[in-house]
Structure 1
Amino acid sequence: MKLVMFGANGPTGRLATEQALAEGHSVTAVTRRPDAFPLSGAGLTVVGADILDPDAVDRAVAGHDAVLSTVGVPYTKEPVTVYSAGTANVVKAMQTHGIRRLVCVSSIGVNYEDAPGEAFIFRKVIVPVLLKMGRPLYEDAARMEDVVRGSGLDWTIIRPAGLFDATTTTDYIVSEPRHPGWFTSRKDLADALVREGVDDRNPGSVVEVITTQGVPSYFQVFMKEALHIGGSKK
């Protein structure tokens, strides 16, 4: 299968690209910094392009079977448009070239609801802080989801929970919102992204990916991912 990956040079994008290549698929990795892309090998094409550049997106998308996106930015107080504007460029290019399958990563922060069994301090202290810190991101991710829903494509939106690093793929949960759990390993998210795109799972659906094994503490995720103490984006 011929896949194009936007956000390929992010932590999850690299994992998903590596997995897709290992499964024998052809991958076009789209990144603004192609010289810094760490992967190589047969089946891989690295393209330097910005998702906010419609002409560059059009060239990158042409000739593929499916489009995967892990585009993300760190927490910021400034307005964010990369999710919605970039995905609008992707959708237009896919429509132009007759490509149907789109899988993109969003966040459970877009439309957060308390799940059964979550601790009081998590619901009343940690979640409000994270949602406030990430408001510009979540607002634009919500706009992105609207763009995807209105695209007329065969789309799937994946909402991970709090991201953390792991070395192996687990028996993670894919569920309609809102499933108990606030953690998603990037390894599990990458696997889910590839499976949705390649196996055509859950078309026309918003799903959450929740890791339940080997998860860190709330404090560890908060310090690393929210406060960027040794952390990184999608």
Structure 2
Amino acid sequence: MRIAVFGAAGLTGRHLTDQALSAGHEVVAVTRRVGSVAERPCLTVAVADATDPAAVDAAIAGTDTVLSALGARFSKETVTTYWASATAITGAMTRHGIKRLLVVSSSITEPNWRPTRAHFFNHVLDPLVNRRLGRTLHEDMRRMEAVIRQTDLDWTLVRPSGLFEHPVVTDFHTADTSADGVFTARTDLAASMLRELEERRYVRVHMGVITTAVKPNIAKLIWHEGVKKKSTTRP
């Protein structure tokens, strides 16, 4: 299968690209930064802004399916990356007759999602980080989901919980709409998307995914996902 991966230079996108290649797929790694993805056998790099319809159209030509792991930073200003990229990608897919689409969203987009036995998360982290600092970002994610749901594509909106880094794929659980858990390893998120390509259990529905085998250290998570990533990521 020839797969277009948007956000291929990002933290989740790198796992998606590596795992897809290991599984024997051909990958078109779509990134907006020249040199951010190294070329390898069975890998083609396409430099394109995912919000530019013409660039997206050229990037996905000749592919069989599209995976999007695009991300944006928290901002006090209105975020449009998710909505604009969804509009460009779905439009290009329709023009090319490509039907299968999997897009990373978030469990936060489900208004009633509250993981059980997670008092600190539900009453401290979620209201402060997700509902306040990340409000404009998650509003844009909801607009993205609405755009995708209105299409005739065979879409799956993938909703992980709090993302963290882990070196290998572990045990993970998927569920309709959202999954009951606080954390999702990026390796498991990538693996769940590639498994869904084969199994097609969540076509035209939302797929929640959580990691069940390991949990991150909260202090390290805040450092790596907040302080360190913010200081090392270029605008």
Q: After TM superposition, is the score higher than 0.5?
A: yes
Of the three residues 229, 232, 235, the one matched with 1:231 is: 229
Q: What is the identity, as a one-letter code, of the residue corresponding to 1:90?
A: I
The answer on whether the counterparts of 2:115 and 2:122 sit within 8 Å (CA) in structure 1 is: no
What does 1:65-144 align with in structure 2 at a 5 Å threshold? 65-112=64-111, 113-119=113-119, 121-131=120-130, 132-144=132-144
What does 1:107-186 align with in structure 2 at a 5 Å threshold? 107-112=106-111, 113-119=113-119, 121-131=120-130, 132-186=132-186
- Taking CA–CA contacts closer than 8 Å with sequence separation of 6 or more, which of the two structures ends up with the larger relative contact order? 1
The answer on whether the counterparts of 1:64 and 1:99 sit within 8 Å (CA) in structure 2 is: yes
The answer on whether the counterparts of 1:165 and 1:187 sit within 8 Å (CA) in structure 2 is: yes
What does 1:25-44 align with in structure 2 at a 5 Å threshold? 25-38=25-38, 40-44=39-43
The answer on whether the counterparts of 2:175 and 2:207 sit within 8 Å (CA) in structure 1 is: yes
The answer on whether the counterparts of 1:102 and 1:197 sit within 8 Å (CA) in structure 2 is: no
The answer on whether the counterparts of 1:114 and 1:178 sit within 8 Å (CA) in structure 2 is: no
Q: Which runs of 5+ in 2 are unaligned?
A: none
Q: Which residue is equivalent to 2:61?
A: 62
Deviation track 1:185-223 (CA, whole Å, cap 9, x = no partner) reads 011011112222344331011011101222113443334
Distance 2:198 2:46 in 1: 21
The answer on whether the counterparts of 1:4 and 1:64 sit within 8 Å (CA) in structure 2 is: yes
Deviation track 1:65-120 (CA, whole Å, cap 9, x = no partner) reads 1000000012221211110111111000010011100000001111242133222x
Aligned residue pair count:
229
The answer on whether the counterparts of 2:110 and 2:178 sit within 8 Å (CA) in structure 1 is: no
Deviates more, 1:127-136 or 1:176-185: 176-185
Distance 1:74 1:84 in 2: 14
Q: Which residue is equivalent to 1:197?
A: 197
The answer on whether the counterparts of 1:5 and 1:30 sit within 8 Å (CA) in structure 2 is: yes
The answer on whether the counterparts of 1:118 and 1:180 sit within 8 Å (CA) in structure 2 is: no
1:208 aligns with 2:195: no
Percent of aligned pairs with the same amino acid: 41
Distance 1:220 1:96 in 2: 44
Distance 1:173 1:157 in 2: 15
Q: What is the identity, as a one-letter code, of the residue corresponding to 1:230?
A: K
The answer on whether the counterparts of 1:117 and 1:180 sit within 8 Å (CA) in structure 2 is: no
Q: Closer, same or farther in 2 for the Cα pair 1:70/1:166, shift >3 Å? A: same
The answer on whether the counterparts of 2:189 and 2:209 sit within 8 Å (CA) in structure 1 is: yes
Distance 1:17 1:179 in 2: 24
Distance 1:224 1:78 in 2: 24
Q: Which residue is equivalent to 2:217?
A: 217
Distance 1:147 1:83 in 2: 10
User: Matched residue of 1:184: which SS?
Assistant: strand
User: Matched residue of 1:151: which SS?
Assistant: coil
Q: Which residue is equivalent to 1:45?
A: 44
Question: How far 1:162 moved relative to its partner?
Answer: 0.7
Deviates more, 1:72-81 or 1:195-204: 195-204
Deviates more, 1:82-91 or 1:194-203: 194-203
Q: Which residue is equivalent to 1:18?
A: 18
